[in-house]
Amino acid sequence: MTKTKREVARRPASAAIPSGWEYAPAPESRDIVRVNESYGLYIGGGFVEPLSNERYTTIDPAREEPLSEIAQAGKADVDRAVKSAREAYAERWSNLRPSERAKYLFRIARLLQERSREFAVLESLNGGKPIRESRDVDLPLAAAHFFYYAGWADKLEYAFPNRTPRPIGVAGQIIPWNFPLLMLAWKIAPALAAGNTVVLKPAETTPLSALLFCDVVRQAELPPGVVNIVTGDGRTGAELVSHPDVDKIAFTGSTEVGKAIARTLAGTGKRLTLELGGKAANIIFDDAALDQAVEGIVNGIYFNQGHVCCAGSRLFVQESIYETVMAKLKRRMRTLRVGDPLDKNTDVGAINSKQQLDKIGALVQSGIDEGAEIYQPPCKLPERGYWFVPTVFTNVAQSYRIAQEEIFGPVLSVLTFRTPDEAIEKANNTPYGLSAGVWTEKGSRILAMAQGLRAGVVWANTYNRFDPASPFGGYKESGFGREGGRHGLEPYVQLDGE
Ligand code: NAP
Ligand code: MG
């Protein structure tokens, strides 16, 4: 029988809910954060009404309830933001002593730490991710990013010895909805450290943490116009990309939009970095510590509902341990708690939008239709909101859509291999090349695999581990340019000889 999309999402394979020990609700209070009824655009150091006069509603995807009315910036609004960034660049920011720039960045980092609970609640409310993750991952990493690049601001000549680094000008930055505040930090911190000013567009569905960040910018007394935030959908992004006075575009999002941006910018002389999709291989050898590897598999694909560009969405298991790994994985999946993102016990939260839920449902259906075997643990889902049960597919051929396309949801495709060479060949059989994971006891094998895998990041005996000092970025259709580390400064400086 073919399941409908809704049935796939709502009804896991077995209907029985495991009895016994149940977790009591442990909700984080949402009173700590105040959400305004509506927001303007943050331009020139304050909120202004959109000239477009257009607004849209942003919602809480776990409850399908409206949270706030958001400005849809049009062409004239984007122009105003770019002018403000240009003026701030010329008159204030680029001439400031680097050690002074550093002080502002340190201040922003400390304020993010101080207000982290408020930000974490807002991030979970607007994005659907579990509070445990926004509290323990997104917020600490966002603050760490500002601390890290604050440290570089007055040491740029050491980052690029004998090359006299200078800022570029105005950076246009466009970010996705999966890590709204963290992606903002990845974009804004290195740009400001190097002496540039920015106009940033958050994703349509998750603008609230970027708008709260404007309050941090105000508290830090950053000179007006150094950071400008324009909200809106893809049209706002497109206006920013094609604005003639933007010197650099930094984009994170889908490969499709990334390619469109590259076409628009070709021949303009504007700088571009693209961080796009992925279909990462997580490779488990028979000598790996299997219980740890299973934790790595779960973290690799079910972290942030699988809305992760570097998610370990293709699992490669060495044939001799296949049965054992699958049994352990399914057992572990039965312990995952899906539900209210604001509950501290929740492992898997809400899907970010109806549109994304439909996309996941369609790809899962294609997996069933093409002949893969689906497993979903028994799981009670809330009545309202967008949810998808953690899913694993076995019996997957490399040609299936679920093995080729980015699903961007809690869906894992399992394949097998016999030798390291076969693992490398299969892992590289994708248009993407963002990340990979290798699980083995042998150090030499880790190094050999890392050399053979065409991926920007290769994790060994861990997965989804981030550090501001470590560069991140892709090969092939996963994009180009690096964020994080000294490498992350490069797109934001002009060097002698360039
Ligand atoms: P997307 O459209 O590429 O969104 C990324 C950002 O670009 C958003 O701020 C988006 O605005 C903006 N944008 C959209 N069209 C644009 C255009 N023509 N010019 C400039 N900016 C534009 O991605 P999505 O629609 O949110 O998600 C679609 C798929 O992309 C997902 O299913 C997933 O496979 C992939 N994705 C990858 C990442 C990643 O981290 N690599 C992140 C998100 C999604 P809107 O918010 O209005 O779309
Ligand atoms: Mg889009």
Predicted confidence (pLDDT) per residue in 355-403, tens digit:
999 999 999 999 999 999 999 999 989 999 999 999 999 999 999 999 9
**What does the pLDDT look like over 197-225, one tens digit per residue?**
999 999 999 999 999 999 999 999 999 99
**What does the pLDDT look like over 81-105, one tens digit per residue?**
999 999 999 999 999 999 999 999 9
**What does the pLDDT look like over 108-142, one tens digit per residue?**
999 999 999 999 999 999 999 999 999 999 999 99
Ligand 1 atom nearest residue 434's Cα: 41
**Rounded to the nearest whole angstrom, what is the distance from the C-alpha of residue 234 to the centroid of ligand 2?**
6
3-state secondary structure of 328: helix
Looking at the chain, the whole-number percentage of residues with pLDDT higher than 70 is 96
Which whole number is the average pLDDT over 419-433? Answer: 97
Angle at 266 between CA 265 and CA 271, to 5 degrees: 60
**Rounded to the nearest whole angstrom, what is the distance from the C-alpha of residue 17 to the centroid of ligand 1?**
36
Q: Is 209 near ligand 1, meaning CB less than 6 Å away?
A: no
The reported pLDDT for the residue numbered 23 is 86
**What does the pLDDT look like over 299-328, one tens digit per residue?**
999 999 999 999 999 999 999 999 999 999
154, pLDDT greater than 50: yes
Q: Is 201 near ligand 1, meaning CB less than 6 Å away?
A: yes
9, pLDDT greater than 70: no
Ligand 1 atom nearest residue 478's Cα: 41
How far, in Å, CA of 433 to CA of 479, rounded?
8
Alpha helices in 155-314 (DSSP H): 156-159, 180-193, 208-219, 234-242, 255-265, 290-302
Q: Is 56 near ligand 1, meaning CB less than 6 Å away?
A: no
17, pLDDT greater than 80: no
Q: How confident is the model at residue 18 (pLDDT cuts 50, 70, 90)?
A: low
How far, in Å, CA of 316 to CA of 202, rounded?
35
Ligand nearest to the CA of 237: 1
Ligand nearest to the CA of 232: 1
Q: Let me know if 323 is a catalytic residue.
A: no
The reported pLDDT for the residue numbered 372 is 98
Q: How confident is the model at residue 497 (pLDDT cuts 50, 70, 90)?
A: confident
Q: Is the dihedral of CA 447, 425, 258, 201 positive or negative?
A: negative
Residue range(s) occupied by CATH 3.40.605.10 in the chain: 38-276+478-494
Contact 353, 205 (CB under 8 A): yes
The two tokens of residue 95 are: 């001439």
Ligand nearest to the CA of 262: 1
11, pLDDT greater than 50: no
Q: Is 472 near ligand 1, meaning CB less than 6 Å away?
A: no
Instruction: Report the predicted TM-score, pTM, of the whole model to 2 decimal places.
Output: 0.96
Q: Which of 133, 204, 275, 483 is catalytic?
A: 275
How far, in Å, CA of 169 to CA of 184, rounded?
18
58: left (phi over 0), alpha (psi -120 to 50) or beta: beta
The reported pLDDT for the residue numbered 20 is 64
Q: Atom 35 of ligand 1 has which residue's CA nearest to it?
A: 254
Q: Is 374 near ligand 1, meaning CB less than 6 Å away?
A: no
Contact 174, 241 (CB under 8 A): yes
User: To the nearest whole number, what is the mean pLDDT of the chain?
Assistant: 95
Q: Is 230 near ligand 1, meaning CB less than 6 Å away?
A: no
Ligand 1 atom nearest residue 356's Cα: 32
Residue range(s) occupied by CATH 3.40.309.10 in the chain: 3-23+278-468
Which whole number is the average pLDDT over 243-250? Answer: 98
**CATH 3.90.78.10 given to domain 38-276+478-494:** no
Q: Atom 5 of ligand 1 has which residue's CA nearest to it?
A: 253
More confident site: 399 or 2: 399
The reported pLDDT for the residue numbered 122 is 98
Return the DSSP state at 27.
Answer: B
Looking at the chain, the whole-number percentage of residues with pLDDT higher than 90 is 95
Ligand nearest to the CA of 236: 1
The two tokens of residue 72 are: 């849809």
**Rounded to the nearest whole angstrom, what is the distance from the C-alpha of residue 212 to the centroid of ligand 1?**
21
Q: Is the dihedral of CA 280, 317, 405, 333 positive or negative?
A: negative
Contact 197, 171 (CB under 8 A): yes
Q: How far is CA 368 from the centre of its chain?
A: 28
3-state secondary structure of 493: strand
Q: Is 253 near ligand 1, meaning CB less than 6 Å away?
A: yes
The reported pLDDT for the residue numbered 2 is 43
Q: How confident is the model at residue 1 (pLDDT cuts 50, 70, 90)?
A: very low
Contact 216, 238 (CB under 8 A): no
The reported pLDDT for the residue numbered 476 is 95
**Rounded to the nearest whole angstrom, what is the distance from the C-alpha of residue 253 to the centroid of ligand 1?**
4
**Rounded to the nearest whole angstrom, what is the distance from the C-alpha of residue 231 to the centroid of ligand 1?**
14
For residue 244, with 0-12 CB atoms within 10 Å meaning exposed, 13-18 middle and 19 or more buried, which class applies?
exposed
So what's the architecture of 3-23+278-468 in CATH?
Answer: 3-Layer(aba) Sandwich (3.40)
CB atoms near residue 84 (< 10 Å): 23
Q: Which of 204, 214, 309, 483 is catalytic?
A: 309
**Rounded to the nearest whole angstrom, what is the distance from the C-alpha of residue 356 to the centroid of ligand 2?**
10
The reported pLDDT for the residue numbered 15 is 44
Q: Is 178 near ligand 1, meaning CB less than 6 Å away?
A: yes
**What does the pLDDT look like over 156-203, one tens digit per residue?**
999 999 999 999 999 999 999 999 999 999 999 999 999 999 999 999
The reported pLDDT for the residue numbered 376 is 98
The reported pLDDT for the residue numbered 498 is 76
Which whole number is the average pLDDT over 429-442? Answer: 97
Q: Let me know if 275 is a catalytic residue.
A: yes
**Rounded to the nearest whole angstrom, what is the distance from the C-alpha of residue 249 to the centroid of ligand 1?**
14
